[in-house]
A and B are shown apart, each in its own frame.
Chain A
């Protein structure tokens, strides 16, 4: 297991390397001179030159990459072009709401999707099954920001049950913390729920048709016991895999959700950086998100043994 873990981490490194190269090249290969774009419409030639030297853009491209990669290895993500603050520090300041939202969404999606998927597979072809599939297809189609505004309008403006926007840290009280997270979690979680419910249903349906389930039923084991202790665990691997893959949806959605609900997280940092064309922040956040995506999928791979002891590494 340890050897496999090391191997798997080593296998992830080239992908991370390509991500770094890609993020680096994105700023260099884009049409137009980054320094001119960053300087804005009213920049003087001296200003542009200053930015160019500041970014090291006057050096050969392989030297630029060596400097960039070297800084990354030391944990230095560069400085914001506007506030001159270190990007790493800016990210740390903003990470709490994003992590809170991501975790609550993950929890919400798993807790709703798995029961829905199980119900649909267990009663395949029934009205319940159809309803779950409608939710699943619909979840893929509803834009997060529209759903967010619908929820705000209904629960905050009309019914006045929940706060409209904003974020309260858990350190200032659990109740307001949770109340502020409910609507963003539902808005962001629906697409994830749709994805997971679909996979849970498909995976469980396949397992339920296998020989050992028929054997278990023939032995007279209670249907609920067959479902939960025989079938569900064997259906788990594709579901867990999808949790990992779906994490990408979550990351993209976080940016939009934070914008709709005015959560001061990494997504807001990104959107503000877009408006200011602060490219070092965009680069830094993109890297952090990509690395966390790789990390989540690594954890998913390693978790397979928990669900299926036959998988040995």
Chain B
């Protein structure tokens, strides 16, 4: 829903840098807002050791279950730990898990999708396996995996990569299927380029834009599901202050200490929202025909 408010009087190239930025912000307000929020969360996560007021794992029984006050912005929990410090440390786990899952899923999904789309003999087998994985609800698959292995950040990441990969595979494959019929691929084949070269040099660069957008959606899901897993007790180990863990511990205090649930959940929701807004903005900039296949 981009409105042509500028009228195009001055050619884009002649605009000053500031004018270009202003025009971008005006045309993509939600995306810019999302990006700013995301940057804010990343800064919180990176500088958590400097921003915290006390050590997030320090217990202080005298100060337990304090409502938010000047010394404890977000109050304290049942062990007297400072909720604000714990919440900003929680950003580290969520964003780390989200980023790593998005990166691994994109690379693995890209590789499988390229092969599936271009090597017809393998396509059917690969896609049936992907259908099978997609038929397993992602949260349940992740729960089963973490329940069987030990709760650790590494296992949570594996548990999230498995159900997310088919989404990327399907997208990459669908793009490759349309690309492979185009003259430039035919030309490359006619010139004697081998299959791996065609995949890496000709097909891969054409999937990247869509892949980045899908990557943001994968990241948003990963952050949400990681919190859900931790909340259910099948996520990051309980001693790590992740948002899901903080809320799992606080769940029986809904009546007496609602702030313990309010703030971590708020940060989680804002983080996921910001990633989704950036993803939607990037998608709208893409070729609309490709954008349709996403989500």
The yes or no answer to A286 lying at the interface (CB within 8 A) is: yes
Chain A residue contacts of B276, Cβ below 8 A:
137, 140-141
- Among A250-277, those with CB < 8 Å from B are 251-253, 255-256, 259-260, 270-271, 273-275, 277
Determine if A143 and B144 form an interchain contact, defined as CB atoms under 8 angstroms apart. Answer: no
Residue of B nearest to A27 (CB): B148
* B135 interfacial by beta-carbon distance below 8 Å: yes
Q: Any chain A CB within 8 A of the CB of B198? A: no
Q: Who on chain B is nearest to A22 by CB?
A: B132
- A146 with B131: in contact, given A27-B148, A140-B220, A270-B143 (CB under 8 Å)? no
Q: Which residues of B contact A110 (CB under 8 A)?
A: none
Tell me what chain B mostly uses at the interface: helix, strand, loop, or mixed: helix
0/1 string, A194-214, CB within 8 A of B gives 1: 000000000000000000000
Q: Which residues of A contact B266 (CB under 8 A)?
A: 146
A166 CB, min distance to chain B CBs, angstroms:
14
Contact A248 B261 (CB under 8 A): no
- The answer for the CA separation of A145 and B255 in the assembled complex, in Å, is 16
Check if B140 sits within 8 Å of A252, measured CB to CB. yes
Give the docked Cα–Cα distance between A144 and B144 (Å).
20
CB pair A26–B220 under 8 Å, yes or no, is no
> Smallest CB-CB separation from B273: which chain A residue?
A141
Q: A18-B131, A285-B140, A289-B137 are in contact. Are A274 and B251 (CB under 8 A)?
A: no
In the complex, the answer to whether B144 meets A286 with C-beta atoms within 8 Å is yes
Cα of A143 to Cα of B149 in the assembled complex, Å: 25
Does B234 sit within 8 A of A, measured CB to CB?
yes
Partner of A248, one of B30, B137, B227: B137
| B139 part of interface (Cβ distance < 8 Å) | yes
Given the known interface contacts A15-B132, A32-B149, A146-B265, the answer about A255 and B143 at a Cβ–Cβ threshold of 8 Å is: yes
Q: Is there contact, CB below 8 Å, between B136 and A146? A: no
B277 to chain A: closest residue by CB:
A137
Taking each of A137, A141, A289, which has the highest tally of chain B beta carbons within 10 Å of its own beta carbon?
Answer: A141
Known: A143-B269, A252-B137, A252-B138. A26 touches B228 (CB 8 A): no
Which chain B residue lies CB-closest to A156?
Answer: B254
With A274-B234, A286-B144 as known contacts, state yes or no: A149 contacts B261, CB within 8 Å: yes
Q: Considering the complex, give the chain A residue whose CB is closest to the CB of B243.
A: A143
* B50-97, CB < 8 A from A: none
How many residues on B have C-beta within 8 angstroms of the other chain's C-beta atoms?
49
Give the CA-CA distance A26 to B146 in the complex, in Å: 11
CA distance A22 to B269 in the complex (A): 32
Q: Quick one: closest B residue to A286, CB to CB?
A: B140
Task: Please report the C-alpha to C-alpha distance between residue A24 and residue B59 in the assembled complex, in whole angstroms.
Answer: 43
* A138–B273 alpha-carbon span in the complex (Å): 7
- The contact string, 1 if C-beta is below 8 Å from chain B, for chain A 1-41, is 00000000000001111110111001100111010010000
- Knowing A15-B128, A143-B269, say if A274 contacts B254 (CB, 8 Å): no
Interface centre among B139, B146, B225 (most CB of A within 10 A): B139
- Measured in the bound complex, the distance between the Cα atoms of B143 and A275 in whole Å is 11
> Does B44 reach chain A (CB closer than 8 Å)?
no
Contact check: which of A145, A153, A279, A285 meets B228 at CB < 8 Å?
Answer: A145
Chain B CB within 10 A, most for which of A16, A17, A149, A152: A149
Report the bound CA distance from A303 to B270 in whole Å.
38
A143 and B148 form a contact (CB under 8 A)? no
- In the complex the two chains form, what is the Cα distance from A253 to B232 in whole Å? 11
Residue B10 is within 8 A (CB to CB) of chain A in the complex: no
Which of B135, B145, B255 is A26 in contact with, Cβ under 8 Å?
B145
Task: Give the distance in Å from the alpha carbon of A277 to the alpha carbon of B151 in the complex.
Answer: 12
Q: Is A109 an interface residue (CB 8 A)?
A: no
A21-B132, A270-B140, A274-B232 given; 16 more Cβ-contact pairs under 8 Å = A15-B131, A18-B128, A22-B133, A26-B145, A26-B148, A27-B148, A138-B273, A140-B220, A140-B272, A141-B224, A141-B276, A150-B265, A255-B143, A282-B148, A289-B140, A290-B135
Can you pick out 27 interface pairs between chain A and chain B where the beta carbons lie within 8 Å of each other? Answer: A15-B135, A19-B135, A37-B148, A137-B30, A141-B269, A141-B272, A143-B227, A143-B228, A144-B228, A146-B266, A149-B251, A149-B265, A150-B265, A153-B254, A153-B258, A248-B137, A252-B138, A253-B139, A274-B146, A274-B147, A277-B147, A282-B148, A285-B140, A286-B140, A289-B137, A290-B140, A293-B135
What are the nearest 10 A-B pairs in CB distance? Answer: A18-B132, A146-B265, A252-B139, A141-B273, A141-B272, A251-B137, A30-B148, A274-B147, A149-B261, A248-B137
